[in-house]
Structure 1
Amino acid sequence: MAVEDKEEKESAPPEGGGKKSKKLIIILIIVLLVLLLGGAAAYFFLRSPATPPPQQTSDPGTPQQIEDSAEIGTMYPLETFIVNLSDPLGKRYLRVTMQLEMDNSRLARELDRRQPQLRDAILTILASKKFDDISTQQGKTRLRNEIVSRTNAFLTSGSIRRVFFTEFVVQ
């Protein structure tokens, strides 16, 4: 009888070993879940659209910005523009404040009279842009040039030399 008790003890698995393997499995499952949740969180937080690398060549169709001169002409401040960008998802908007450099001070009176036309032209230009169009320095330069050429098309008593962005926020 003593031999039978000894055989039963040898064939039964040790009680401590079963608990250790269950703890190990639970710990592995928890670690796996934490890693999965961390990966999912990183994916959602970091999946913003990549901006294209800046291009070194300039577009031949856009007019070149007038070189910076030592003397700045008379400035005409504009109120802040807030527009939705033309992105497919429609999640971004642009907030921009600018000042126009005039070639003569008489132009300020004409700009005052044409304020609705001026704001409409600039709003139309801004709302037609996508984030990729204005995210680079070259894109901002093209935007400045487009505003200058569009506003000069309807001005009669002078012209706009340059556009200065005093606030430019894309969100």
Structure 2
Amino acid sequence: MKANPKAKADPKADAAAAPAGSKKKLMIAALAAVLLLGGGGGAAWFFMQGGDAAAEDTPKASKKKKKASNVKPHYVPVEAFTVNLQPENGEQYLQVQFTLQVDGPEQATLIKDNMAIVRNRVLLLLSGKKASEISTVEGKQQLAAEIQAIVQEPFAKGGDEQDVTDVLFTSFIIQ
């Protein structure tokens, strides 16, 4: 018998060919997914380990930045201040408490040993402020930057600056 070109192919042969093609596609998709996830995991690991290793090796990287990345921050609480503010609408007072964030235990000890100087500088700064200057979020941020700047000034003439990295308000009341 001659094969009839118009006759349909054997359905059993088609059924066997379909799973083989599906398995191949499934294997390719699984392999692509594994490679994609592996690449993503590798990238995540790279960035979690410090990211740009080349930038750390360049001589232009600042000494302070390298130092800060290796030192665990320490916190030095400063006792509460109550000061008269500059008059605007009658007498107003500020009661504020904050913590200084510094680089390392040596800086924390230096700040603690010179707390009288720190408190004097901050008291003089605060007593020159008006309530309207420090009542907004921006005003508080500006005040924190000013406190940081005056505490960083050397305690002794010709001495090194302190490494104060942040001023964190823990209480802030204007009356």
Partners of 2:90 and 2:74 in 1: CA distance: 37
More helix by proportion, 1 or 2? 2
Q: Match for residue 150 of structure 1?
A: 150
Confirm whether residue 127 of structure 1 aligns to residue 131 of structure 2: no
Aligned residues: 101
Partners of 1:153 and 1:85 in 2: CA distance: 24
Gaps of 5+ in 1: 1-70
Partners of 2:74 and 2:148 in 1: CA distance: 15
Please state whether the residue corresponding to 1:95 is helix, strand or coil. strand
1:165 corresponds, among 155, 166, 169, to: 169
Q: Match for residue 111 of structure 2?
A: 111
The Cα RMSD (Å) is 1.9
Please state whether the residue corresponding to 1:106 is helix, strand or coil. helix
Partners of 1:115 and 1:103 in 2: CA distance: 17
1:20-169 to 2 correspondences below 5 Å: 73-154=73-154, 156=160, 158-169=162-173
* Cα displacement (A) at 1:115: 1.1
Partners of 2:161 and 2:106 in 1: CA distance: 7
Equivalent pair of 1:102/1:160 in contact (CA under 8 Å) = yes
Which structure is richer in relative contact order (CA contacts within 8 A, separation 6 or more)? 1
> What TM-score comes out, normalization by structure 2 length?
0.54
Taking only the aligned residue pairs, the percentage that are identical comes to 31
> What TM-score comes out, normalization by structure 1 length?
0.55
Gaps of 5+ in 2: 1-70
Specify the code of the residue in structure 1 equivalent to 2:163.
S
Equivalent pair of 1:83/1:93 in contact (CA under 8 Å) = yes
Question: 1:55-88: per-residue Cα shift (whole Å, max 9, x none)?
Answer: xxxxxxxxxxxxxxxx982110011000000124
Question: 1:34-65: per-residue Cα shift (whole Å, max 9, x none)?
Answer: xxxxxxxxxxxxxxxxxxxxxxxxxxxxxxxx
Specify the code of the residue in structure 1 equivalent to 2:118.
L
Structure 1 residues 152 and 158, CA gap change in structure 2 (3 angstroms): closer
Equivalent pair of 1:134/1:143 in contact (CA under 8 Å) = yes
* Cα displacement (A) at 1:157: 6.7
